[in-house]
Amino acid sequence: MSEKRVYTFGNGVAEGKAGMKNLLGGKGANLAEMNLIGVPVPPGFTITTDVCNEYFEKGKEKVVALLKNEVENAVHHIENLMNCKFGDVQNPLLVSVRSGARASMPGMMDTILNLGLNDEVAKGLAEKSGNERFAYDSYRRFVQMYGDVVLGMKPTNKEDIDPFEEIIQQVKAERGIKLDNEMSVDELKKLVALFKEAIKNQTGKDFPTDPMEQLWGAVCAVFDSWMNERAILYRKMEGIPAEWGTAVNVQAMVFGNMGNTSATGVCFSRDAATGENIFNGEYLVNAQGEDVVAGIRTPQQITKEGSLRWAAQQLIDEDVRASQYPSMEENMPEIFAELNAIQEKLERHYHDMQDMEFTVQDGKLWFLQTRNGKRTGTAMVKIAMDLLREGEIDEKTALLRCEPNKLDELLHPVFDKAAQKQAKVLTRGLPASPGAACGQVVFFADDAARWHEEGKQVIMVRIETSPEDLAGMSAAEGILTARGGMTSHAAVVARGMGKCCVSGAGAININYKQRTLEIDGVLLREGDYISLNGSTGEVYLGEVTTQPAKVTGDLAELMELCNKYTKLVVRTNADTPHDAQVAHNFGAVGIGLCRTEHMFFESEKIKAMREMILADTKEGREKALTKLLPFQRQDFYGILKSMDGHPVNVRLLDPPLHEFVPHDLEGQQAMAAEMGISVQEIQHRVNSLSEHNPMLGHRGCRLGNTYPEITAMQTRAILGAAIQLKKEGFDPHPEIMVPLIGVVHEFDQQEKVIRDTAKQLFEEEGVEINFHVGTMIEVPRAALVAENIAKKAEYFSFGTNDLTQMTFGYSRDDIASFLPVYLEKKILNVDPFQVLDQKGVGQLIDMGVKKGRSTRPNLVCGICGEHGGEPESVKFCHRVGLNYVSCSPFRVPIARLAAAQAAVEE
Ligand code: ADP
Ligand code: MG
Ligand code: MG
């Protein structure tokens, strides 16, 4: 059998290409592609993601045996192109071993550099390069990385520090030096010896000297890292399936640590935070690999413009900047020019913003990685619209480039301008990820997660973050770090999460032990409030007030584009004029669900409501309802007015009545006193309302059918408000919806009450209103007999919360006891109340629409419920031919984008 497991690349030739991401991982596919388009890339090979799955099925030994031939040949391939030999003492080849999954998972898995070194080879490398420092710097880095990643020296407990770091600190302390690059050659040699000793002590084994053995160890460790804790957590957060696996890339080393004509860096073809078309990035002279990201030394800017901006933010004087932190543009002008040309070429080739990694070895530039860069929601929209205007992509591509859920960030509140002006600025860091955040200071990831669970808003403050902090970062409103640049871990991850982040705020002093933070003499403790402006890098004392976001600029243009392609209309779920207005500003054209029950909870209304519930005669109920009528009419007046000219779908009273009466003695006593009856009487009624299974009990249209006078009052209120508006010159479009229909006569009889009431009201007022009567399809039976219901109902609204509940038989209120286990065990992949179950519940919707339209061809169908704002569910609604979706106000733009994408994808 000749299944191909290894793909080589080098010198402008490659067996893979960009389109093979699934097999080669993102990194491997793009390394191949860069070769094909003439970008300088060190030669190497990629072991496929399929092998990763094989590895977990068959185990280490079997897979190594299967790979042996191909890997050995591929190593020879590199040797030939590089003109040196793996393990050779005079002319050694060193390689890196790098993970690379289909979707980028920055920093989640492991990379090993400088592999192939042992005592003899290091000596040879020193002679060959004439640079002993470089050789032993590489060697000590290799032993450390190999020890950590392959030999399991990295502490699993995050309180413990890496044993190698401890040794480095000791060696530096002995001589009173601070930076790694201040160590002498002898000290580097000493590190190697001490590292090996530590490995021997802890693992009982000698450091492997055979390069081939080292290589297999590293390859297997990269596969193993696919299953490490942080990789699993990251996949969970991003919804990446474990079956995708990671590829392994083995690549000839190029060295950024060969002296002052060498460097390493990271760059972006556009600004990942704002989306502006500005080439930017960071680099370090005489450094290797992750040094830039790790925050060990202060990285320098690539462009002069960026460098000036950075210095201004950091309050660094120009002469200090120019001498100590010059940009690459100033420091290495020729290399900068080449870098700049290649970044442009790559962006034009991929038609998208690129995030690139490079190394300069003794004056020669090498690219080590390119990928479509992670970006904030703001940058996502701006970049898509800019690329469209530049003619790089077409309208449909621009629409598909934007991820609906990421719009969420643009819809969040921003700082109130006036409040921001008055706020005390504590300090300033780098504007790493935009947004406005306020919360209580916490210093540790697990505290952030726990406080968040308790309902608190927190700002996570760290010297710098590492992948272990992921869960905490995700729980925090914002992240503040003392160290690290625009490409630091905190910055990259925060932008990916769409979370506000200020990084590298050098003036803050953090004391983890005492859980305090000091800025210019101001001392803050854990739990104190601060606010962050991720767009300016400012840190404020206390809570700065925010105001709602607006749809303007690029977002407005994107929304226009949505309108051009979309077929689905987006309405909103709103119960108050305020919510209706917010949604209208976000582009909702109508209300898909107006619930009426909340309206009864304010003081006077709840009294009348309770009186109605307690009454045991129809007359008694009608008397109480008469008191409620004016309140309800006023509520509907406001809502219809705020959605003038657009349909407003009002649902008749739905929840079980026991929700309106007090269940505690105190409340019952107060109610008794107010109503002038005995507590016993009240308790008696409350008890009689109690049900074994309220979700399946006396609720929905079962209320209206047992107490038609409630339906009549609500009809009067809705249509009365409409009449008043019409008299004032407005254009109201009320719709009256009967909930929880299962049997056609449940609808018939309610409809009759509505129409009779309307007729009487119109006669009284001398004004007629054009209105519709429809129903919710939320009991499975209703979907099954939809053709009969549609003969009477003028429209359907799929109430997918109840429909999901009754189709699965899962109580919405009780699901928390088993859902986590179900998700854990993969019995369910997602919470069906959040993401519509297309296979099961979806069938009922599809059937309901088809059957309904078989008897009423122009039947208007929509969806209300949580799913109406969930992008995948919205796309499903498009495919089954619904007319509209309805969602909460802040999800309206998200639904609009998802709807447009569905139309484009079709
Ligand atoms: P990650 O996926 O975490 O970004 P990478 O595999 O990209 O890890 O490796 C991290 C860094 O190591 C790269 O950005 C690059 O600086 C350095 N590196 C990897 N391979 C090589 C190589 N062959 N030569 C020089 N540097 C390398
Ligand atoms: Mg990388
Ligand atoms: Mg319902």
CATH number of domain containing 206:
3.30.1490.20
Q: Which of 118, 369, 120, 113 has the alpha carbon at shortest distance from 255?
A: 113
**pLDDT over 90 percentage in the chain:** 75
- 319 and 205, same domain (yes or no): no
Q: Which of 279, 340, 355 has the alpha carbon at shortest distance from 26?
A: 355
pLDDT at 158: 61
Q: Write the pLDDT tens digit of every residue in 357-392.
A: 999 999 999 999 999 999 989 999 999 999 999 999
With a Cβ cut-off of 6 Å, ligand 1 is lined by: 42, 96, 98-99, 106-107, 111, 113, 251-254, 264, 289-290, 357, 359, 368-369
Cα 347 to averaged position of ligand 3 atoms, centre (Å): 49
- Which protein residue's CA is at the shortest distance from atom 20 of ligand 1? 96
| Cα–Cα distance, 817 to 50 (Å, whole number) | 37
- 418 and 350, same domain (yes or no): no
pLDDT at 159: 66
- 637 and 564, same domain (yes or no): yes
pLDDT at 607: 86
Q: Is 774 annotated as a binding residue?
A: no
Ligand nearest the Cα atom of residue 656: 3
User: What CATH number should be reported for the domain holding residue 488?
Assistant: 3.50.30.10
- Which protein residue's CA is at the shortest distance from atom 13 of ligand 1? 289
| Cα–Cα distance, 363 to 286 (Å, whole number) | 11
Q: For 149, how many CA atoms within 13 A lie in the half-sphere containing its CB?
A: 30
DSSP 546: E
Ligand nearest the Cα atom of residue 98: 1
Centre a 10 Å sphere on the Cβ of residue 20 and count the other Cβ atoms it contains: 21
Range 625-659 burial, b when 16+ CB lie within 10 A, else e: bebbbebbbebbbebbbbbeebbbbbbbbbbbbbe
pLDDT at 295: 64
Active site residues: 489, 864
- 631 and 562, same domain (yes or no): yes
| Cα–Cα distance, 35 to 367 (Å, whole number) | 10
φ, ψ for residue 349 (rounded to 5)? Answer: -70, -45
Cα 738 to averaged position of ligand 3 atoms, centre (Å): 10
> Does a structural domain hold residue 209?
yes
- 541 and 571, same domain (yes or no): no
Q: Is 552 annotated as a binding residue?
A: no
Looking up tokens 């160590």 gives 183
Domain ranges, residue 428: 413-547
Cα 893 to averaged position of ligand 3 atoms, centre (Å): 24
Among 401-410, 668-677, 786-795, the range scoring the smallest mean pLDDT is 668-677
Q: Write the pLDDT tens digit of every residue in 154-179.
A: 887 666 778 998 999 999 999 898 88
Q: Is 595 annotated as a binding residue?
A: yes
Domain boundary, last residue among 375, 403, 436: 375
What value does the mean pLDDT take over residues 299-327? 94
Of ligand 1's atoms, which has the minimum distance to the CA of residue 289?
16
> Does a structural domain hold residue 418?
yes
DSSP 867: G
- Cβ(544)–Cβ(438) under 8 Å? yes
The amino acid sitting at 148 is D
- Which protein residue's CA is at the shortest distance from atom 18 of ligand 1? 289
578 pLDDT exceeds 90?
no
Q: Which residues contact 415 (CB under 8 A, 6 or more apart)?
A: 436, 531, 533, 544, 545, 546, 547
What value does the mean pLDDT take over residues 250-261? 94
> Left (φ > 0), alpha (ψ -120 to 50) or beta: where does 392 sit?
alpha
Helix (H, G, I), strand (E, B) or coil at 276: coil
pLDDT at 884: 98
Q: Write the pLDDT tens digit of every residue in 55-85.
A: 999 999 999 999 999 999 999 999 999 999 9
- Which protein residue's CA is at the shortest distance from atom 22 of ligand 1? 253
> Does a structural domain hold residue 97?
yes
- 237 and 276, same domain (yes or no): no
Q: Which of 544, 498, 505, 499 has the alpha carbon at shortest distance from 522?
A: 505
Q: Write the pLDDT tens digit of every residue in 169-223.
A: 999 999 898 888 889 999 999 999 999 999 999 999 999 999 999 999 999 999 9
Q: Write the pLDDT tens digit of every residue in 879-906.
A: 999 999 999 888 899 999 999 999 999 9
Token digits of residue 121: 């080879």
615 pLDDT exceeds 90?
no
pLDDT at 1: 41
Helix extents (H) in 454-576 = 470-475, 489-497, 553-565
- 294 and 147, same domain (yes or no): no
CA 143, 191, 148: angle at the middle one, nearest 5? Answer: 30
What value does the mean pLDDT take over residues 28-54? 97
DSSP 16: -
Token digits of residue 507: 């003036």
> Does a structural domain hold residue 687?
no
Domain boundary, last residue among 252, 283, 300: 252
Among 255-264, 334-343, 593-602, 618-627, the range scoring the smallest mean pLDDT is 593-602
Ligand nearest the Cα atom of residue 41: 1
User: Which pLDDT band, with edges at 50, 70 and 90, does 736 fall under?
Assistant: very high
2 pLDDT exceeds 60?
no
CA 900 to chain centre: 21
Query: What's the Cα-to-Cα distance from 276 to each of 342, 379, 389, 520, rounded to whole Å?
Result: 19, 7, 13, 33
Q: Which residues contact 815 (CB under 8 A, 6 or more apart)?
A: 831, 833
Of ligand 1's atoms, which has the minimum distance to the CA of residue 104?
2
> Does a structural domain hold residue 670?
no
φ, ψ for residue 532 (rounded to 5)? Answer: -120, 140
Angle between the N-to-C axes of helices 60-82 and 211-225, in degrees from 0 to 180, rounded to the nearest 10: 120
Token digits of residue 802: 């109840």
- The best mutation among 114, 234, 246, 368 to test binding of ligand 1, ranked by most ligand atoms within 8 Å of the C-beta, falls on 368
- 896 and 812, same domain (yes or no): yes
| Cα–Cα distance, 311 to 332 (Å, whole number) | 19
Beta strands in 706-844 (DSSP E): 733-738, 772-777, 795-799
What value does the mean pLDDT take over residues 143-156? 90
Domain boundary, last residue among 547, 568, 603: 547
| Cα–Cα distance, 191 to 184 (Å, whole number) | 11
φ, ψ for residue 798 (rounded to 5)? Answer: -80, 115
Q: Which residues contact 509 (CB under 8 A, 6 or more apart)?
A: 482, 517, 518, 519
Ligand nearest the Cα atom of residue 741: 3
- Cβ(591)–Cβ(619) under 8 Å? no
Q: Is 802 annotated as a binding residue?
A: yes
- Which protein residue's CA is at the shortest distance from atom 9 of ligand 1? 111
> Does a structural domain hold residue 400?
no
- Which protein residue's CA is at the shortest distance from atom 12 of ligand 1? 289
Q: Which residues contact 283 (CB under 8 A, 6 or more apart)?
A: 263, 264, 265, 266, 267, 292, 299, 300, 301, 302, 328
CA 472, 478, 482: angle at the middle one, nearest 5? Answer: 90
- 173 and 277, same domain (yes or no): no
- The best mutation among 96, 110, 268, 284 to test binding of ligand 1, ranked by most ligand atoms within 8 Å of the C-beta, falls on 96
Token digits of residue 175: 């001589």
- Cβ(615)–Cβ(550) under 8 Å? no
- 486 and 570, same domain (yes or no): no
| Per-chain mean pLDDT for the chain | 93
Ligand nearest the Cα atom of residue 700: 3
Cα 493 to averaged position of ligand 3 atoms, centre (Å): 39
pLDDT at 390: 97
- The best mutation among 357, 374, 489, 492 to test binding of ligand 1, ranked by most ligand atoms within 8 Å of the C-beta, falls on 357
| Cα–Cα distance, 9 to 739 (Å, whole number) | 63
pLDDT at 291: 80
The amino acid sitting at 336 is F
Of ligand 1's atoms, which has the minimum distance to the CA of residue 100?
2
| Cα–Cα distance, 26 to 31 (Å, whole number) | 9
- Which protein residue's CA is at the shortest distance from atom 19 of ligand 1? 96
User: Which pLDDT band, with edges at 50, 70 and 90, does 282 fall under?
Assistant: very high
User: What CATH number should be reported for the domain holding residue 303?
Assistant: 3.30.470.20
| Cα–Cα distance, 550 to 687 (Å, whole number) | 49
Cα 862 to averaged position of ligand 1 atoms, centre (Å): 50
- Cβ(657)–Cβ(603) under 8 Å? no
- Cβ(62)–Cβ(258) under 8 Å? no
The amino acid sitting at 843 is Q
Of ligand 1's atoms, which has the minimum distance to the CA of residue 290?
11
| Cα–Cα distance, 362 to 169 (Å, whole number) | 29
- Which protein residue's CA is at the shortest distance from atom 17 of ligand 1? 289
| Cα–Cα distance, 630 to 613 (Å, whole number) | 18
DSSP string, 628-641: HHHHHHHHHHHHHH
- The best mutation among 9, 82, 98, 248 to test binding of ligand 1, ranked by most ligand atoms within 8 Å of the C-beta, falls on 98
CA 431, 435, 438: angle at the middle one, nearest 5? Answer: 105
Q: Tell me which of 295 and 118 has the higher pLDDT.
A: 118
What value does the mean pLDDT take over residues 3-9? 96
Start-to-end CA distance of the chain, whole Å, equals: 40
> Does a structural domain hold residue 785?
yes
pTM of the model: 0.86
- 222 and 295, same domain (yes or no): no
User: What CATH number should be reported for the domain holding residue 784?
Assistant: 3.20.20.60
**Beta sheet of 516-519, edge-to-edge order:** 508-511, 516-519, 522-525
- 621 and 591, same domain (yes or no): yes
Q: Is 651 annotated as a binding residue?
A: yes
Cα 295 to averaged position of ligand 1 atoms, centre (Å): 16
> Left (φ > 0), alpha (ψ -120 to 50) or beta: where does 515 sit?
left
> Does a structural domain hold residue 406?
no
CA 891, 896, 897: angle at the middle one, nearest 5? Answer: 100
| Cα–Cα distance, 725 to 765 (Å, whole number) | 13
Range 32-71 burial, b when 16+ CB lie within 10 A, else e: bbbbbeebbbbbbbbbbbebbbbbeeeeeeebeebbeebb
Provide the number of structural domains found in the chain.
4
Q: Write the pLDDT tens digit of every residue in 442-456.
A: 999 999 999 999 999
List, in sequence order, every residue forming a beta bridge with 517; answer none if it has no partner. Answer: 510, 524
Cα 355 to averaged position of ligand 2 atoms, centre (Å): 9
Cα 240 to averaged position of ligand 1 atoms, centre (Å): 22
